[in-house]
Structure 1
């Protein structure tokens, strides 16, 4: 019997659907039992090249470690800690890599070792060729797995171990081939701010942080170290020198170049042999505790007068050109001393350290200064709003060499930054600057841990400026402080938004304050003005959620931040944020109120809390300059003050 055509089609679809459904169920079952989906790991700084090569490697309980050539103790210790933290119970050692792998083998060494060359070849990767570069390759075999960490040099191998630390978790690492190297040869920080210097413990913690981010430079130049500036001719007390020695040793172990800076400018007599000997003596003492890189700072001084009459005899009447000639004369001798001792280049910061304009001072300095001496430059201004490749190229022309950028962010030791933590992303530095700079160092805040979000961005930019993503790195910094906890991360980002303003020495900041909160308050203003009831409800709901988040963020941060020091440094800002958050909650309630009396009570209490919050001040002695704490200023305070005028509700009838 023939079925009607429509019935035939219906039965065909049923049969086809049954077959398709069965296939989907089979695929789903297979997917459930298969390896997890391979995804590219998030690595900061972003590597030059990363390629997934498989579905991932289970480390298991035992890993066999093979050293190829010389591996320094700190690098091996870091690799072992990474394996232990990932769940590996036993790390056995072997002297060679067998032909057939029956376990997970981890080979570490530098590219000049034949065993590394053979191991890299087995993974199909290429050896690193750039200074501080590395290759990290991992892939499965039939009965085991091979992981290779190959450094172009010892520094590169250490960076490879830091990358391994980022990608190893939960007993697994991804199957990847990473070929990586820094874009800039100098990356780090200069403790060069005015006010309370960091403690030795804070410096040690900061150096460890720098090492984890693949930085390589820490410059010791606190303006308030009297033995480096006001009393630069005097030797350090023995106890201070001992403490510095411990710091230098820690930096050297972690592949961070500890650079010691002296600031003799306010009182130096350039032509006096005794002053030259005082610098030599100070550097010799620091050399005795392991320092190998040195720096002479000649910033923030007068250069149109001499500190001694002998300089006028030696260099002529005081002016910019004579000052440059005198400085070059002194620095050239110091550079020669360093070369004789087998050390690297001397770094100096000139008296004209900002702008890229050709001047008599810069021209004379470029002409007279030993070309090996590195010159620091702060950009187009002391605190520049942006730095372009063209700016750096102009600086190269003006100073006669590529400059080392002293970036005055996130330093907060000037009047425009009073009462602020500077927590906006590191931004508005143009990709491609690596072609025109010798490197970048950040001048951080008096608050060491709170400086890390911005410093992390700067280091990531210096490592790979072409692939730098400011927003993504900023969020990664919040996750870092939160120890990976999502709720704490979100609380930190809420708090960061209230400290987003990045000031300059002028009236125009180079990053705006509280952009997320500003968007929400502006939406409420527009919704109220439009008369659209649905949009008004939606806008107030969104702002209400933001107010709840703001009020709750301080307690979440206090409970969840994993990096010691942040909560202590940020204490008054967190206290003020809680009050401002509550004030915003009350303001939203006032805007939602149905009668004028209720609204007035909400608005009045919001104003009282805002006034209380505005009176909280910075921790005495912890910050220069001190001042009232600022939380989303110009956004939050303005909205709370103006909110009562955005609605009209008649007073209740008596």
Structure 2
């Protein structure tokens, strides 16, 4: 028998790196390594590296200050690229650190008598990203031999908790920030519409216990290398000309600054800008109108930007009252002219919930606002009427590669359901890291694996369930993502086979559809048993229950069609039982208080319900013979 060389395969890293090269066979870490830690490595980065090593079976970690001339063990070197031991390790591995902010190099290779793994960051954030990639190249105690050179395409990547309805809990925010870090995001914007102390009562101080709880979230964000951005929404009541209101904004920001927040945001969306909140504004800015509103807003924002610059805290972010489209207007023209160029402007695309976003759209936004915009992408948010009864779990899609050249970044506005938002958000994070190499379906599966703790069977069950929640509505009647595309393809094939009356095709298509029904019926139990994030099952419980009923109804429908084709008796019973199950499924409602709009949960609506309803009419059922006959 001929001997075959060991075959190694390139590991999957998400988000997709700028460059990854497989350099040799994988190698075992063993039960002991030597950790060479450069000065300045933060505790969270070292902790993550140690956790990866422990998961891989390493039990003994010794510390050294430098590499020996000859590697006599497995050495793991971590630090920023300008540190001496890191420079040595990079030279030996032939890797280099990119020049871009948050860039990193990761290299791993075995050598005679030992092995070398180096994690090198352009800065502390880049080093943390390197540790997240290191986690992904270690599997079953072995390390892939790779050289990775990586950096983000967009400076800002993350989420904005900017929805109406029930805000996330503090614990959910902490968990979400850890999720963001795993996908190399760097931004979380705190802007829940229903935080009364940020909007309706924005002048009032937070209660001490709330402020303390927010401080814990800020600590998690700082530890995870995620920028916590605090947003205030004074627009409904502010008097722009009143120095006391400016001082109120400053007081609120000062309180958050005391928690460790260094980035701030003023939201001026969803307000009336053709009337003033106080007579003094008309005296200073003139009669109410679009131009006057922009002038007043710019005065406020410029003052706050000056405060941040004086404190060394960078740029203020704002969302304008005209936050979507790029149509020229008196408001945009005045804002473009009067607003400090350092202020970051958010924009939601060509609509509030756009079906797609192109490079030309972003260029038009740059022209309209006089600077590159930060995209507020209203997906997968489900706080508007068209999303009633829905989870939005289709992958992130229809955003054009090349947007990284025209945007300052992207943040997702997620659902009220934090964990259920992750499949879509993960795609946005991967796209904003590397928009040119973003793979929709592979990243969607990576998000499922993240929820499943790496278990492939659970991930497949999740993807089966995600398909039933695939539709993505807009404010209009036409969704920008279709419902249940995988299931619909199987149903359409079965319909066509029945219409053609091809026995072989009918048998094959119904068998495939039956297998899909069985997989969907089994998915909820597998998800409940295998998903490692408990919040997912809690948030999606009604949909999991309904999906199982719909799947059983589909199985009965397929069996009914098969029995009818075979001329078996009692065919009507299959369809009747299926109809009974669909009635039970359709009666299941969303969790009270969980979302702004509540109602019956929807599972593959327009696909499953139509097929099950139509099925009895797709075959001719001969009437049962009477007793006389």
Instruction: Give TM-score, length-normalised by structure 2.
Output: 0.98
Matched, 1:454 2:406: no
**Residue aligning to 1:306:** 276
Single out whichever of 559-568 and 376-385 deviates more from structure 2: 559-568
**Residue aligning to 2:102:** 132
Write out per-residue CA displacement over residues 172-217 of structure 1, whole angstroms, 9 at most, x where no aligned residue. 1111110000000000000000000000000000001101110000
**Counterparts of 1:106 and 1:487, CA distance in 2:** 32
Matched, 1:383 2:350: no
**Counterparts of 2:508 and 2:302, CA distance in 1:** 67
**Counterparts of 2:527 and 2:114, CA distance in 1:** 43
Partners of 1:596 and 1:648 within 8 A in 2? no
Matched, 1:481 2:435: no
**Residue aligning to 1:143:** 113
Question: Structure 2: any 5+ residue segments left out of the alignment?
Answer: none
Write out per-residue CA displacement over residues 16-72 of structure 1, whole angstroms, 9 at most, x where no aligned residue. xxxxxxxxx1x2xx33xx5x4211000000000001111122211111111123111
**Counterparts of 2:26 and 2:486, CA distance in 1:** 38
**Counterparts of 1:435 and 1:204, CA distance in 2:** 31
1:597: Cα distance to partner? 5.9
**Counterparts of 2:487 and 2:71, CA distance in 1:** 56
1:604: Cα distance to partner? 1.2
**Counterparts of 1:141 and 1:108, CA distance in 2:** 19
Single out whichever of 347-356 and 470-479 deviates more from structure 2: 470-479
2:475 to 488, 495, 505: 505
Matched, 1:412 2:382: yes
1:112: Cα distance to partner? 2.1
1:116: Cα distance to partner? 1.6
2:559 to 583, 586, 589: 589
Write out per-residue CA displacement over residues 468-499 of structure 1, whole angstroms, 9 at most, x where no aligned residue. 00011111111221222222122111111110
**Counterparts of 1:619 and 1:59, CA distance in 2:** 47
Matched, 1:625 2:567: no
Matched, 1:199 2:132: no
Write out per-residue CA displacement over residues 409-448 of structure 1, whole angstroms, 9 at most, x where no aligned residue. 0000100111000010100000000000000000000100
**Residue aligning to 2:624:** 652
1:119: Cα distance to partner? 1.7
SS in 2 for 1:570: helix
SS in 1 for 2:537: helix
**Counterparts of 1:105 and 1:492, CA distance in 2:** 38
**Residue aligning to 1:236:** 206
Partners of 2:379 and 2:414 within 8 A in 1? yes
SS in 1 for 2:25: coil
Question: Structure 1: any 5+ residue segments left out of the alignment?
Answer: 1-24
Write out per-residue CA displacement over residues 369-411 of structure 1, whole angstroms, 9 at most, x where no aligned residue. 0000000000010000000000000000000000000000000
Write out per-residue CA displacement over residues 233-264 of structure 1, whole angstroms, 9 at most, x where no aligned residue. 00000000000001101110110000000000
Matched, 1:66 2:46: no
Matched, 1:212 2:212: no
Q: Once superposed, what is the RMSD of the aligned Cα atoms?
A: 1.0
**Residue aligning to 2:285:** 315
Partners of 2:97 and 2:103 within 8 A in 1? no
Partners of 2:395 and 2:444 within 8 A in 1? yes
* Equivalences for residues 168-207 of structure 1 within 5 A: 168-207=138-177
**Residue aligning to 1:369:** 339
SS in 1 for 2:526: helix
**Counterparts of 1:119 and 1:550, CA distance in 2:** 49
* Equivalences for residues 30-49 of structure 1 within 5 A: 30-31=3-4, 36-49=6-19
Matched, 1:573 2:543: yes
1:596: Cα distance to partner? 8.1
1:613 to 575, 578, 585: 585
**Counterparts of 1:281 and 1:590, CA distance in 2:** 68
**Residue aligning to 1:518:** 488
Instruction: Give TM-score, length-normalised by structure 1.
Output: 0.94
SS in 1 for 2:139: coil
1:99 to 64, 69, 76: 69
* Equivalences for residues 50-65 of structure 1 within 5 A: 50-65=20-35
